Amino acid sequence: MAATAQILPPKHSVLGVGISSTTYKEVMRLCRHWIGPRRMQTGRSAAATDEPGPQRGHCVFICTVNAVMTAVFQPAFRRLLNAGDLATTDGMPLAWALRSFGVKGQPRVYGPDLMLALCGQAARLGHRVFLFGGREDVLPQLRRRLERRFPGLPIVGTFAHRDPPRGAEADAWVEAIRQAGADLVFVGFGQPRQEQWIVDHRDRLPGVVLIGVGAAFDFHAGRVRQAPGWMQRAGLEWLFRLRMEPRRLWRRYVLLNPLFLAMWGMQLLGLLRYPKVSRI
């Protein structure tokens, strides 16, 4: 793990959650770096064999303001997020927070766009993709759209369910992912369930890149509309989503977003202090 740690971008504590100062290109490069050695061992994937390989899977977590605020009130979720290799700036306020802490030009690394970028790379390089989670009426449409958008994209398996499998069923699906030789597993159960599943099972999926993408499945399947690009760039995506789903999201955006801004300001002024984030 020491060699892996040396190539990872630094994490900066935002209200106690380590957020990676990274970019789309950097995440894509890291995925190539992680996947390459496994594929060289067998021509497909070392995960489906008993040959020596990486010690465990690699975790990429997509962090929104809501994720950070949930972590503030739920230490167990904060530990999950901090256990990942990467935690990206899905929300513009998190990109602004990193800039305020000295990371010049930190961009937003938006989960749905990152998923598309990695699928495009997978189609070019032959990385094998597994879609894990999501509604039964969403996953078939998602698969069709991805294969149409990225000809040659090797989607080697899917699991359609809103809740992650447990017990013997979880063991069976871990083995299915291994036998499929998956390189990239997009996990779409929503937070914190997807992060918990990833951390619980990464040791049994050596070298596999596990990415919790949440609502990206619904967006790319066409089930849920995304905010226009200009609203995303201006940090106003919350307003669009609140208008679309007011009953479900009002607490998140009306209560937690202002609280985040206040606590971020207090951290910036030194009134709130958090220790450096160490990877687990």
How confident is the model over 30-78, as pLDDT tens digits? 999 999 876 655 554 444 444 444 578 999 999 999 999 999 999 999 9
Peptide bond into 192 cis (omega under 30): yes
Q: Is 82 exposed, middle or buried (0-12, 13-18, 19+ CB in 10 A)?
A: buried
pLDDT above 90 covers what percent of the chain? Answer: 72
Q: What is the pLDDT of residue 43?
A: 53
Q: CA nearest 192: which of 70, 277, 280, 92?
A: 70
Distance, CA of 207 to CA of 47 (rounded, Å): 7
**Residue 180: strand, helix, or coil:** coil
Looking at every residue in the chain, the average pLDDT score rounds to 90
Hey, which of 3-17, 20-34, 248-262 has the most confident mean pLDDT? 20-34
What would the pLDDT profile of 155-168 be if each residue is shown by its tens digit?
A: 999 999 889 999 99
Helix runs in 43-73, H state only:
65-73
Q: Which residue has the tokens 């955006």?
A: 253
Model confidence at 145, pLDDT cuts 50, 70, 90, reads very high
Model confidence at 100, pLDDT cuts 50, 70, 90, reads very high
- Work out whether strand 17-20 and strand 11-14 pair parallel, antiparallel, or are unpaired: antiparallel
**Residue 141: strand, helix, or coil:** helix
Distance, CA of 249 to CA of 181 (rounded, Å): 38
Residue pair 217/225 in contact by the 8 Å Cβ criterion: no
With 90 as the cut, is the pLDDT of residue 213 above it? yes
Query: What mean pLDDT is predicted for residues 127-139?
Result: 95
Domain with CATH 3.40.50 in the chain: 20-44+53-224
**Residue 67: strand, helix, or coil:** helix
Q: CA nearest 277: which of 56, 81, 4?
A: 81
Model confidence at 6, pLDDT cuts 50, 70, 90, reads low
Tokens coding 237: 């995506």
Query: What mean pLDDT is predicted for residues 254-275?
Result: 95
Distance, CA of 76 to CA of 156 (rounded, Å): 32
Model confidence at 114, pLDDT cuts 50, 70, 90, reads very high
With 60 as the cut, is the pLDDT of residue 209 above it? yes
- CATH (residue range 20-44+53-224): 3.40.50
